Structure 1
């Protein structure tokens, strides 16, 4: 029998009141749980692998003997086919039916008796997440709440992908429901962590993914974090890049995006806190894309990076698959629900990925996000303690040039002028700058070599220039891309593709200034006109 029948008084009453206020107020409330001026200590990072509840053969998560299997993410709760507001396991079982056919309630209770715990994941790729089909706000909140009550879970994982992610109206309903549910539970003294699990490429979240995060923050949801699916990278995977390296790159870009999204929401958080709000979920072994394989070596690399940066959560898809395929499984490039498709030997992906993730799902659910305002003095740049020149709005920067801004070092990806290095853009291709890292304590200015006098003649509007000719214009060396006469290099700033001139990179300038030096040495050189 569900525990929901014993928890209906104060919290249910509070929830009904919150729903009523949201409806009569004509919009979503903004529950700002982060109003405190002091942030709570970050919870210990935790590991909970996904278990496909309805897969055959059934995975016996309740029989876990190792710590890496004691905390599980049960998946997926979705809407019933004949009732958009009724939660089911994969449309195959209602919760009552799962209790009988799968003995699910008893198995969860057994795991919890042994010190383990469960969280529940809603959505997935194949079926309708509740918010996609349930349009009544009260029924929707009650549907989510009934699942949490049934399985005594303090964490909701929203695995939103496919049509569930592209449906903007569903996203707004989902965010409103999470805000209502979270406020009601916290008002009643209960914990509720809300995680978004979203697809990602090596460039980070897609536009639909960043929209989903924004919807949650705008609704006032205190997001525990964003867990990205480090899988199915497809065309965003670089030539020769391993799945582990691609996963790391995806986390780095999502970290930058998440920082921007919180900034845009008016919530100041440190980089370290943003890392605690990130999770990673690789698909172990053979991926859906035939050429993508996540090996044990990839798992080691991802785990080491995650621990170094301090991400808050590690998961994987799935415990059902964490075993070498048997000899009767002929085609290991075809994804199986019951084995990984790679030779694991005596190792288990769960053990490798869980190393160092010693926290508990329930403990992390107690965390309330608090703002961490930046001290304005931390953003003041001192030329005397900066390795590179401090960024200036009216200066021109060649590709490869490094500059200092707000105590960080940035490097130009292409010629730029007037573009703020820390301009909050969601996609890395929208900015000409790459963040290299912070200015280190004790640094002093690096001496910059300059071009020897007379290296190139000054540009002359009457002269004819052939492809490959080089000139100096306003102190910056340019090279002709094609024959031209009377075309000023100044046009490059407004029409870089249409002008026949292109500025040399700092690497090219360094080679000239140092008599042929390249590589790392080129980072010490720049044009005279940079500042």
Structure 2
């Protein structure tokens, strides 16, 4: 007996019966699937980036400016868009045991306003559309937290600086001995947290950047402690800015940009762990948005470390790719090629980079993709209030009102149409704000506007009879001084019968030269 086999009817023919998928159809399907997945990932990435920008603000570039290095750098007159925002450095304690803020230990805030015209120059920069960030600390001097013995005094010191210059973003540059003291570090963190709370209660904000030294493998233990103290004290840290410079290690064949990128990747991982320890989990894109880099352009302090324009291009590309929120550089004072008289460019200069920049600047190379202003991260408006036009009032002006008949010595400052001008050389009858004047050949240099609440500074005045009046019949030798039309002159060489008046029309040919304001001040202090 044979087993029975069940019969199954064949399926009805379908639309693809007897057809095969060709290779191009398979490839097309794969491409479509990849596009769908990639589109979803791209949309997710855009969503994450939007979230990062909402937390950290738009990306901005601002080079550091050393405020106290002489000659003073004219940050108030940006040469291009890359120079319009600056990080002014450094605010430190006036003395190692003083809780009084100063610029570099050389000028307290009032002295900086008078001797450096800092308040006026900041106002002028803001009127042109730029803004400033204040940097506390630095490699030299004593950071306020290390000098102030209590938190209330420290808060008041920080507050006085922040309020005076009306900033929304500060930079805490903590390094050297200032970084190695955890007690002052905790005092700093608590004070900054309290200041943030105060400003938010008043409807303002305070963006806080912590600038720290870095090695190719990331932050040092002391630097990680500084970050942890900020987070544990409740500081809403805008970000960590690493100083990608002065590594002092064997980099092998790596470029300075490649070493900087290694340091940033290592710090990115460390920062994530520090936030985890503080009870906050952040995504990788958000952490990149909280990172910044500050290279030292050109020749670094360590021999053999030279950050080139190619390095700047590579670092900028990496920072844009990772959506970092800030780039800076040290410093705008140095962003130019050294002169031919500066023979050894391997020695660091405060005034030039030590590399041949041709017609390019490091600022313009590092800025692309970072065009926002620092205020963007703190939600502040960036358009300044218009300065009202008022009549010059001697009682509300820091310097005398300019008059056409007065003679002004080199260094003299005057007020004219609510602005302060400084004489570059002896002048009389030259309108300070002549709109047709060439800036290089005109005797006046614009410093900035008169500020609200200013009062006259004491003006140097020679006591009557300090020098004899010029006598056309007398013989004068080099170095002798006379008065002529109330202006003191000094003989450049032997002369008789040559009126000092000729100096006004032939300065080079005249045997007389007028004294400067600086000479007058020295004479008043020490005697003729």
TM category (shorter chain) comes to: 0.5 to 0.7
* CA deviations over 1:76-134 (Å, ceiling 9, x no partner): 00001175210000000001000011111000000001111001000001110000010
CA drift of 1:42 comes to 4.4
CA drift of 1:66 comes to 1.1
Within the alignment, does 1:312 sit opposite 2:328 as a pair? no
Equivalent residue, structure 1, for 2:263: 250
Aligned to 1:215, the other structure's residue is in SS state helix
Distance (whole Å) between structure 1 residues aligned to residue 169 and residue 258 of structure 2: 29
* CA deviations over 1:475-505 (Å, ceiling 9, x no partner): xxxxxxxxxxxxxxxxxxxxxxxxxxxxxxx
* CA deviations over 1:118-167 (Å, ceiling 9, x no partner): 01000001110000010121111011011111111111100000000000
C-alpha contact (below 8 Å) 2:257/2:311 kept by paired residues: yes
Find 1:274's aligned residue among 261, 276, 287.
287
The verdict on how the C-alpha distance between 1:338 and 1:184 changes in structure 2, with shifts beyond 3 A counting, is same
Equivalent residue, structure 1, for 2:223: 209
Equivalent residue, structure 2, for 1:55: 69
C-alpha contact (below 8 Å) 2:230/2:237 kept by paired residues: yes
C-alpha contact (below 8 Å) 1:119/1:157 kept by paired residues: yes
TM-score, normalisation: structure 2: 0.61
C-alpha contact (below 8 Å) 2:52/2:285 kept by paired residues: no
Equivalent residue, structure 2, for 1:372: none
Within the alignment, does 1:115 sit opposite 2:129 as a pair? yes
Superposition CA RMSD, Å: 1.5
Distance (whole Å) between structure 2 residues aligned to residue 118 and residue 203 of structure 1: 31
Find 1:283's aligned residue among 271, 288, 296.
296
1:405-424 equivalences under 5 Å are none
1:388-467 equivalences under 5 Å are none
Find 2:161's aligned residue among 117, 123, 147.
147
Distance (whole Å) between structure 2 residues aligned to residue 82 and residue 252 of structure 1: 36
The verdict on how the C-alpha distance between 1:66 and 1:289 changes in structure 2, with shifts beyond 3 A counting, is same
Within the alignment, does 1:231 sit opposite 2:274 as a pair? no
C-alpha contact (below 8 Å) 1:229/1:282 kept by paired residues: yes
Equivalent residue, structure 2, for 1:169: 183
Distance (whole Å) between structure 1 residues aligned to residue 204 and residue 286 of structure 2: 23
The verdict on how the C-alpha distance between 1:82 and 1:254 changes in structure 2, with shifts beyond 3 A counting, is closer
TM-score, normalisation: structure 1: 0.61
Within the alignment, does 1:188 sit opposite 2:202 as a pair? yes
CA drift of 1:39 comes to 9.0
Distance (whole Å) between structure 2 residues aligned to residue 208 and residue 161 of structure 1: 9
Aligned to 1:105, the other structure's residue is in SS state helix
Equivalent residue, structure 2, for 1:497: none
Equivalent residue, structure 2, for 1:341: 354
Within the alignment, does 1:265 sit opposite 2:278 as a pair? yes
Find 2:172's aligned residue among 158, 167, 189.
158
Within the alignment, does 1:178 sit opposite 2:177 as a pair? no
The verdict on how the C-alpha distance between 1:327 and 1:227 changes in structure 2, with shifts beyond 3 A counting, is same
Equivalent residue, structure 1, for 2:447: none
C-alpha contact (below 8 Å) 1:57/1:338 kept by paired residues: no
Equivalences, count: 330
Distance (whole Å) between structure 2 residues aligned to residue 229 and residue 365 of structure 1: 23
Distance (whole Å) between structure 2 residues aligned to residue 228 and residue 216 of structure 1: 16
C-alpha contact (below 8 Å) 2:56/2:290 kept by paired residues: no
CA drift of 1:356 comes to 0.9
Aligned to 2:146, the other structure's residue is in SS state helix
Distance (whole Å) between structure 2 residues aligned to residue 42 and residue 320 of structure 1: 28
Equivalent residue, structure 2, for 1:75: 89
Runs of 4+ in 1 over 2 A off after TM superposition: 37-42
Distance (whole Å) between structure 2 residues aligned to residue 92 and residue 149 of structure 1: 20
C-alpha contact (below 8 Å) 1:229/1:281 kept by paired residues: yes
Distance (whole Å) between structure 2 residues aligned to residue 57 and residue 349 of structure 1: 21
